[in-house]
Amino acid sequence: MIAVLLGLRQGEVLGLTWRDVDLDQRVLAVRQTLQYRPAEGFHLVPPKTARSRRIVPLPNAVVDALKSRREQQETDRLAAGVEFWEDWGLIFTTRFGTPLSPRNDYREFQRLVAAASLRHVRLHDLRHTAASLMLAQGVSPRVVMEILGHSQISITMNTYSHVTPASSREAVARVEGLLFEGRSESE
């Protein structure tokens, strides 16, 4: 839900901690990403660029989902017990509090896609979907750039601004309305 509504990258989602989220103010802060290195294990590392560090507003659906996640995680923590629970402070964890493997996260995503009878999509495609939907709804490219954490607006525009036939028709209709507003057809 966070990937498709907010366009966060997989590592950004998996690296979210509870201290990064303010459910009352309905915002989350992207401060780190989760990386896995085979020889070293899991690490929380800073995002690649300064622009990738950002504050993102949370829609109500995400706030509700995070509240449910917090309850589920508390149930998992109690079931695991003190001796087995590893408290990383992460939002998305295994039932023992350890970080979710990006590979396991991807496998679970593919299971959900198949269960919903959707065509094959990559997890990163949800980021593209979020950006495309925001732009299609008339959200300013600058705002989309900020939400996605792009370093330059050209990245947002070159990657996500697809021209559809409907938007082309709307564009020429707007120009026509501007230039010929008030003219009758007989003129």
Amino acid at 110: Q
Could you report the average pLDDT of every consecutive run of 10 residues in the chain (187 residues)?
94 97 97 94 92 94 97 97 96 96 94 93 90 86 90 80 65 84 61
Look at residue 183 in the predicted model and tell me its pLDDT: 63
Measure the CA angle with vertex 121, ends 118 and 123; round to 5°. Answer: 125
Going 55 to 139 to 12 to 85, the CA torsion angle's sign is: positive
Residue 72 lies in a domain: yes
Measured CA to CA in angstroms, residue 90 lies from 99, 134, 158, 164, 185 at distances of 7, 28, 33, 40, 64
Domains identified in the chain, total number: 1
Look at residue 133 in the predicted model and tell me its pLDDT: 87
Look at residue 62 in the predicted model and tell me its pLDDT: 96
Instruction: Give residue 65's domain range.
Output: 2-180
Look at residue 182 in the predicted model and tell me its pLDDT: 65
Residue 186 lies in a domain: no
Residue 55 lies in a domain: yes
| DSSP 3-state of 187 | coil
Residue 185 lies in a domain: no
Residue 110 lies in a domain: yes
Does residue 97 contact residue 77 with C-beta atoms inside 8 Å?
yes
Look at residue 46 in the predicted model and tell me its pLDDT: 95
Residue 187 lies in a domain: no
Look at residue 136 in the predicted model and tell me its pLDDT: 82
Which residues make Cβ contacts (< 8 Å) with residue 45, sequence separation at least 6?
32, 33, 35
Does residue 31 contact residue 62 with C-beta atoms inside 8 Å?
no
Residue 133 lies in a domain: yes
CATH of the domain at 7: 1.10.443.10
Look at residue 67 in the predicted model and tell me its pLDDT: 98
Residue 57 lies in a domain: yes
Look at residue 70 in the predicted model and tell me its pLDDT: 97
